[in-house]
Structure 1
Amino acid sequence: MTVIKIGGSLISEGVYVKVLDNLKSSGLKNFIIVHGGGNEVSKLQKAMGKEPIFVTSPEGIKSRYTDLETLEIFNMAMRNIGTKITSYLNSLGFKAINISGVDASFIKAERKKKLIVIDEKGRKRVIEGGYTGRIKEVDSSFLTNLINLGLIPVISPIASGYEGEILNVDGDRGAAAIASSVRASKLIIFTNVDGVIMNGKVLDKLKLEEAKEVLKKVGPGMDKKLLACIEAVENGVEMSLITSGKTEKPIEMALNGVGTKVVKE
């Protein structure tokens, strides 16, 4: 089993179809797609007169602040993206189905009631948590049943809370949780760069402990991708990969290990 995460940068640039086209020609079997779409959420927020707000954790990880209005916009944008990907896959002859973690509550997350953030003066502050969730459970049997029916799940990163809330969850870390749950052999995160770049060079292969050290040095956006790769491998995925989705044959390149690989040892 392979879990494929299509980054929001590829969606906003309109090049995500390269990944989907190559799925057909590569002959890859048994895969699940998870998508992002942060740029599209921000674009829709601005169109609706709401400026996006981002917060930074003490660890330096930047995230979208999700109040109730932002959650509704997030839900709209993600469902729209999921529908587009599903429709395109079906046009290629696949049988894809767009779902989110709310469907059958197959992704359960705990709402973050409070957030510790770093303010503009570098001080720690505690703020209301909004509608962001920390994934606690993934029902792998739900996904397995869909796959056994010949369907390809296209998953939007939205989860069910334990009190009936709809929650925004990070797409990269959501993909890692899904990959671990279904015991995938690979997690492939497609983005708009060739991998983790340090000193102008793409890092080819990182063992877990090396990846944790590099995590301290990478910038916003890549930090969550690398963290997701670490979490996936820590929880049983054989290999995680961050690679470009902008090449002519991104799936084949990824299956050949082109990009930054994270492995246990």
Structure 2
Amino acid sequence: MIVVKAGGRVIKNALQNVISSILQYQGKLFFVHGGGDIVSDYSKKMGIEPVFVTSPEGIKSRYTSKEELDVYVMVMNFISKTIVNSLVKNGKYALSISGVDYASVKAERKKRIMIIDERGKKRIIDGGYTGRITQVNSEFLIKMLDFIDYIVISPIAVDINEGTMLNVDGDQMAFNIAKATKADALILLTDVKGVIYNDSVVSKLTSEEAKELSKKVGAGMNRKLLMAASAIESGVRKVVIASGLDSDSINNALKGYGTVISNE
């Protein structure tokens, strides 16, 4: 069993390629998708201007207001159903869920977040409706695979204490599911060929090497490397960061195309 996560740009620009690759994969998988660019498009159509904030570490992320949470949930579920529709049309048993369903992924709303404002100063603001994952119901998710080939998961979690849905980072969702289910592999499909360092793709890293390289690459990729190292140390056999824009991206990643993080 594997976990695959496709980022928002891959979903927007190469969704049919990814669906075709899922259909060619001979095994069970959880598929976590992003879709932030599509959320932004719909928000603008509805008169809601998307807001992004930058953390002190230089990571840019969506600020999710209550108003935009509604759009986020709507669009993410639309993406999930679109993917499942293509899979079942091709004779596969597929199901779309979010972390809200059966409380399969619980999170805690970030009450406050620190950002870098337009003047370059650190400032603490209300956290909005973004969350930090606290628990994955791995028993439920694994049991579902007894009946279903592919489970498509939107990056929406539930805060039980506050009784609200939350926007959670898609990478965070995928890493937590992979760790909780002890997946054979976690594949991160991005819009680049892998981890690029000194103008070339790094083909293989151990968990320790991934942690070291995270200090030398950009903000988005450094977080992926740190999460990958943590996943390996938690029992995931390997993590592959690869292009989702190529044909049969999932099987290519399993063959080693991209950056493979593993201690084996």
If the length of structure 1 is used for normalisation, what is the TM-score? 0.93
The aligned counterpart of 1:23 is 22
The aligned counterpart of 2:155 is 157
Cα distance 1:39–1:225, how it changes in 2: closer, same or farther (>3 A)?
A: farther
Letter in 1 for 2:132: R
Q: Which runs of structure 2 are paired with 1:207-222 in the superposition (5 Å)?
A: 207-222=206-221
User: Post-superposition shift, 1:225?
Assistant: 3.4
Higher mean alpha-carbon deviation, 238-247 vs 167-176, is at 238-247
Distance 2:40 2:233 in 1: 32
Cα distance 1:73–1:57, how it changes in 2: closer, same or farther (>3 A)?
A: same
Q: Which runs of structure 2 are paired with 1:1-265 in the superposition (5 Å)?
A: 1-13=1-13, 15-26=14-25, 28-162=26-160, 163-264=162-263
Cα distance 1:102–1:2, how it changes in 2: closer, same or farther (>3 A)?
A: same
Letter in 2 for 1:12: K
User: Post-superposition shift, 1:58?
Assistant: 1.8
Distance 2:164 2:223 in 1: 24
- Residues 71-127 of structure 1: CA deviation (Å, up to 9, x unaligned): 111111101111111111112211111100000111000110000112222221110
If the length of structure 2 is used for normalisation, what is the TM-score? 0.94
SS of 1:148's equivalent in the other structure is coil
SS of 1:216's equivalent in the other structure is coil
Contact persistence 2:7–2:189 (CA under 8 A): yes
- Unmatched runs of 5 consecutive residues or more in structure 2: none
SS of 2:229's equivalent in the other structure is helix
Large movers: runs of 4+ above 4 Å: none
SS of 1:177's equivalent in the other structure is helix
User: Post-superposition shift, 1:221?
Assistant: 4.0
* Number of corresponding residues: 263
User: Post-superposition shift, 1:23?
Assistant: 2.8
% identical aligned pairs: 48
- Residues 201-256 of structure 1: CA deviation (Å, up to 9, x unaligned): 11111222322233234335434433432332232211111101222221221111
Cα distance 1:45–1:234, how it changes in 2: closer, same or farther (>3 A)?
A: farther
- Residues 162-208 of structure 1: CA deviation (Å, up to 9, x unaligned): 32111000001110000111110100011121111122211111222
Distance 1:184 1:148 in 2: 15
SS of 1:193's equivalent in the other structure is coil
Contact persistence 1:173–1:224 (CA under 8 A): no
Higher mean alpha-carbon deviation, 131-140 vs 188-197, is at 188-197
Cα distance 1:70–1:181, how it changes in 2: closer, same or farther (>3 A)?
A: same
Contact persistence 1:2–1:32 (CA under 8 A): yes
